C-alpha cells in the first residue's frame, strides 16, 4: 500500500541443540506474522540449533536433526506468503557455514553465508565455521534440492522491495556486506544475530543499526538471540530492532522470557526515491548480483505507522531550546557572513507584528549580539497601512523597544493613495492591485532606507510562502538577504516559542503567536483583522506537510493525501485535504517564476527551494498530471 511493507523481527525461545523444539517456536511465530500480514520476517542467528551449540555444530547428529527440522518448516510454510529468514548451519564442500535460509511458500529461495566470523574474546566462530564471503554465482544442494547460494543474492518482488541478508558480525565489520547490497538496489536489509549483552552494548547496537539504515538510505531489520541461549559465559537479551533511514521505528524490550515479534511498516517507495534526491547514492560501485524473484507478499490493508503531521518540527523528545538555538545560530551566522563580506554595519527590517518578521528580528538581534554590535544599528520599520490593526502594530513596537533596536514608523496610506491616483486605480476596488501597491511601497521604503543608512534589507518571507508564491513579486518577494527562506511556517512558530523564557519579551511573543496570520492589506473593521491568510490559501500545517512529502521524495499526490488523512485524523476531511492539496499543487507550479528570482538566504533544514540550492524547475511546467491523479 503506497510503497509500505510490513516487516518483522522475531525472537524465539531457544532450546540449545534441539532443532525440533526450536522449530515449534519458529512455526508459531511465522503463523502469527502471516496473520498480521507481515511481508518478511527475520529470526536470530543459527535459529534451529541455537548459537551457543558451539562444537556440537560439528556433530553429524545435530546437523541431521537441523535439516529434518528445516523440512518441517518448509512443510508448515506451504501456502504462507510471509517470507521467513532463519539461521542454519550449511555443510557444503566439506566446510561448515553459518548461513541464512530465505523461505517462502515451502521453498528455499536462497541461502546466504556469513562473511565475517568473529574470533576474539567470547566469540570463536572460526573454530566451527568457514567464511562465505567469496561464494558467488553458485548453487548448493540442501534437502536434495538445488538452491541459489552465495553472498551475492538479493531478493525482489519486482515493485518497491529489494532486500539483502547479512549475519551478525557482518554489520560490525569495517565494510558491511549491506553496503554493496544497497549499491545494487537493496533498500531493506535483514540481520540474523546472536549479539550478547554487555554494559552499554544495547545502546551502541541500536545506534549501529540506525546509522547503517541512514548510510544505506534504507531500512534495517535486526533480530538477536534471547532466552534459552547458554549463559555459561555470557548472556543474550534477545534484542529486536527495526530502523528506517536513520530512525528507530520499532524496538522490543530485551530479556523477555517468551517468543515474540515486533513489526513495523517501512516506506520502501519513499526510500527508493530518496536515493534519487539525496546524497551520492548513485556513485556507489555496483557489483554483479543475482536477484531472486519472490512471490507476492501479504497485502497490507491499513498502514500501521504513526505519520508525523508536522514533519519540519522536531519531535516532542527533542530539546526545543537546543534545536531552536541551532536554527537561530544558522540564520545569525549566515547574516554575519553576508554583512561582514559586504562591509555593512546596519540591518533594515520591516516589522509587522507577525510571525515571520518576529523571527527575522530575533535572529538578526542574535547576530548583532554575537558580533558585539549595538542593537540600535538594527533599524526596524513599521509601515502601517489600510489594514494595520492596533494589535499587530503595538506588538511590533513593544518587541522593538524591548530589544533596544531603532524603531521608525512610516505610514504608507497617503503614499498608496497617490500611487492609486498615478495609475488611475479606484481605492474602493480592493483587488490585487490594491494589495500589491502597498507591498511594493513597503519594500521600496526599506530598500531606500538601506541605501541611505548603508544597511542590508532583511527578508522575512518564509519557506511556506515561497512554496505557495504567497508574496508580491518585487515586493515582499525581494530583499537583500532572505533570512527566513529556509524555514517553513510551522517551524517558525516552534522557534519563536523557544524565546518565551526571555521575560523581556515573553508576553509579547505569546500574543504574536496567538494572532491570526495576515498580510493586513485589506481595510480592517473596527480594529479587527479582516484578512486571514489561512482562510484564503488553507492551513499552513497542511501546506508544510504537502511540501515535505512532495519535495523530499517526490511522493504522488494520492499518497500525500492518504498520509495526511492518517497524520491529522479527524481534524481535516478527505474533501478538505483534497481541496488544499489541489491548491498547493497549482500554486507551487504557477509560482515558480518567483522562486527563480529569490534573493540569497540560508538553508536551515533538509529542504530548500532556492534555484541555487535544492530546487530547479521550469517556470512553465504543467501541473495537470499531478492534479489529475487526485481525481483517479
In this predicted model, what pLDDT tens digit does every residue of 12-64 receive, in sequence order? Answer: 999 999 999 999 999 999 999 999 999 999 999 999 999 999 999 999 999 99
Q: DSSP class of residue 111?
A: E
Q: Band of the pLDDT at 486, cuts 50, 70, 90? A: very high
Q: Is the pLDDT of residue 345 over 90?
A: yes
Instruction: Categorise residue 179: left if φ over 0, alpha if ψ from -120 to 50, beta otherwise.
Output: alpha
Nearest CA to 540 among 468, 623, 435?
468
pLDDT of residue 600: 97
Instruction: Tell me phi and psi for residue 228, to 5 degrees.
Output: 110, -25
- Among residues 25, 92, 125, 168, the one annotated as catalytic is 168
Radius of gyration of the chain from its Cα atoms, rounded to whole angstroms: 30
Residue 174's CB: how many other CB atoms inside 10 A? 6
Show the DSSP H helices in 127-262 as ranges: 169-172, 177-183, 201-216
Domains and CATH numbers, the chain: 4-293 (3.60.110.10), 320-537 (3.40.50.620)
Question: Is 532 an annotated catalytic residue?
Answer: no
In the chain, what percentage of residues exceed pLDDT 70?
100
* Rounded Cα–Cα distance for residues 318 and 398 (Å): 31
Catalytic residue flag (residue 169): no
Sheet of 406-409, strand order: 406-409, 378-382, 346-350, 455-459, 481-482
114 catalytically annotated: yes
What is the distance between the alpha carbons of residues 223 and 242, in angstroms, rounded to a whole number?
A: 9
Q: Exactly one of 25, 114, 270, 541 is catalytic; which is it? A: 114
Q: Which of 66-75, 257-266, 276-285 has the lowest mean pLDDT?
A: 276-285
Q: Which residues contact 550 (CB under 8 A, 6 or more apart)?
A: 560, 584, 585, 588
Cα 616–478–419 angle (5° rounding)? 135
- Choose, from 25, 45, 244, 520, the residue flagged as catalytic: 45
By percentage, how much of the chain surpasses pLDDT 90?
93
| Grid cell of 597 as nine digits | 528570482
* Three cell numbers, residue 241: 530492532
Confidence of residue 632 (pLDDT cuts 50, 70, 90): confident
pLDDT at residue 501 tops 80: yes
Residue range 455-475: mean pLDDT, rounded: 97
Q: In what order do the strands lie in the sheet with 240-244?
A: 247-251, 240-244, 219-224, 188-193, 162-167, 153-156, 290-293
Please report which residue ranges of 89-200 form alpha helices under DSSP H.
Answer: 169-172, 177-183
Q: What is the dihedral of CA 365, 371, 372, 378, to 10 degrees?
A: -40
pLDDT attached to residue 424: 97
363 alpha-carbon distance from chain centroid:
26
Q: Taking 90 as the threshold, does the pLDDT of residue 279 lie above it? A: no
CB 14 within 8 A of CB 192: no
Average pLDDT over residues 284-294: 91
Amino acid at each position: 500500500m503506497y510503497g509500505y511493507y510490513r516487516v518483522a523481527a522475531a525472537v524465539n525461545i531457544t532450546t540449545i541443540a534441539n532443532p525440533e523444539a526450536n522449530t515449534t517456536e519458529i512455526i508459531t511465530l511465522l503463523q502469527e506474522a502471516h496473520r498480521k500480514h507481515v511481508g518478511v520476517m527475520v529470526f536470530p542467528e543459527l535459529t534451529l540449533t541455537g548459537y551457543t551449540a558451539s562444537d556440537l555444530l560439528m556433530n553429524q547428529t545435530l546437523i541431521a536433526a537441523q535439516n529434518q527440522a528445516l523440512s518441517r518448516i518448509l512443510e508448515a510454510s506451504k501456502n504462507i506468503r510471509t517470507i521467513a529468514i532463519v539461521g542454519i548451519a550449511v555443510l557444503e564442500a566439506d566446510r561448515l557455514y553459518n548461513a541464512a535460509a530465505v523461505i517462502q511458500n515451502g521453498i528455499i529461495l536462497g541461502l546466504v553465508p556469513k562473511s565475517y566470523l568473529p574470533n576474539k574474546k567470547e566469540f570463536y566462530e572460526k573454530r566451527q565455521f568457514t567464511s562465505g564471503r567469496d561464494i558467488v554465482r553458485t548453487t548448493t544442494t540442501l534437502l536434495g534440492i538445488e538452491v541459489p547460494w552465495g553472498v551475492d543474492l538479493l531478493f525482489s518482488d519486482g515493485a518497491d522491495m529489494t532486500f539483502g541478508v547479512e549475519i551478525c558480525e557482518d554489520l560490525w565489520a569495517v565494510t558491511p556486506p549491506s553496503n554493496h547490497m544497497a549499491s545494487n538496489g537493496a533498500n531493506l536489509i535483514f540481520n540474523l544475530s546472536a549479539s550478547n549483552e554487555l554494559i552499554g552494548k544495547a545502546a551502541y547496537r541500536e545506534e549501529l543499526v540506525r546509522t547503517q539504515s541512514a548510510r544505506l538510505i534504507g531500512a534495517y531489520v535486526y533480530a538477536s538471540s534471547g532466552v534459552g541461549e547458554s549463559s555459561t559465559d555470557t548472556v543474550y537479551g534477545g534484542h529486536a530492532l527495526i530502523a528506517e533511514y536513520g530512525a528507530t521505528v520499532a524496538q522490543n524490550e530485551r530479556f523477555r522470557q517468551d517468543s515474540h515479534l515486533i513489526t513495523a511498516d517501512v516506506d520502501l517507495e519513499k526510500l527508493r526515491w530518496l536515493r534519487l534526491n539525496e546524497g551520492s547514492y548513485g556513485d556507489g560501485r555496483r557489483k554483479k548480483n543475482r536477484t531472486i524473484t519472490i512471490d507476492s507478499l501479504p497485502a497490507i490493508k491499513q498502514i500501521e505507522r504513526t505519520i508525523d503531521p508536522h514533519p519540519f518540527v522536531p519531535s516532542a523528545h527533542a530539546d526545543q531550546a537546543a534545536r531552536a538555538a541551532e536554527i537561530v545560530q544558522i540564520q545569525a551566522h549566515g547574516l554575519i557572513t553576508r554583512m561582514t563580506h559586504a562591509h555593512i554595519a546596519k540591518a533594515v527590517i520591516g516589522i509587522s507584528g507577525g510571525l515571520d518578521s518576529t523571527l527575522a528580528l530575533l535572529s538578526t538581534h542574535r547576530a548583532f549580539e554575537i558580533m558585539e554590535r549595538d542593537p540600535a544599528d538594527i533599524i526596524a520599520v513599521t509601515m502601517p497601512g489600510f489594514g494595520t490593526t492596533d494589535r499587530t502594530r503595538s506588538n511590533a513596537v513593544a518587541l522593538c523597544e524591548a530589544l533596544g533596536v531603532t524603531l521608525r514608523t512610516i505610514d504608507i496610506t497617503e503614499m498608496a493613495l497617490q500611487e492609486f491616483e498615478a495609475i488611475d486605480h479606484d481605492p474602493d476596488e480592493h483587488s490585487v492591485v490594491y494589495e500589491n501597491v502597498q507591498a511594493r511601497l513597503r519594500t521600496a521604503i526599506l530598500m531606500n532606507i538601506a541605501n541611505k543608512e548603508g544597511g542590508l534589507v532583511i527578508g522575512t518571507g518564509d519557506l511556506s510562502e515561497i512554496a505557495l508564491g504567497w508574496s508580491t513579486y518585487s515586493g515582499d518577494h525581494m530583499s537583500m538577504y532572505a533570512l527566513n527562506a529556509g524555514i517553513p511556517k510551522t517551524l517558525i512558530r516552534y522557534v519563536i516559542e523557544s524565546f518565551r523564557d526571555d521575560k523581556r519579551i515573553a508576553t509579547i511573543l505569546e500574543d504574536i503567536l496567538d494572532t491570526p496570520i495576515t498580510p493586513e492589506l485589506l481595510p480592517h473593521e473596527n480594529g479587527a483583522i479582516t484578512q486571514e491568510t489561512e482562510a484564503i490559501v488553507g492551513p499552513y500545517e497542511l501546506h508544510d506537510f504537502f511540501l515535505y512529502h512532495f519535495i523530499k521524495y517526490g511522493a504522488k499526490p494520492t499518497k500525500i493525501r492518504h498520509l495526511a488523512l492518517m497524520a491529522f485524523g479527524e481534524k481535516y476531511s478527505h474533501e478538505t485535504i483534497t481541496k488544499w492539496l489541489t491548491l498547493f499543487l497549482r500554486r507551487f507550479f504557477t509560482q515558480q517564476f518567483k522562486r527563480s528570482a529569490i534573493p540569497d538566504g540560508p538553508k536551515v533544514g533538509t529542504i530548500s527551494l532556492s534555484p541555487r540550492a535544492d530546487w530547479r524547475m521550469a517556470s512553465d511546467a504543467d501541473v495537470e498530471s499531478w492534479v489529475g491523479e487526485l481525481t483517479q
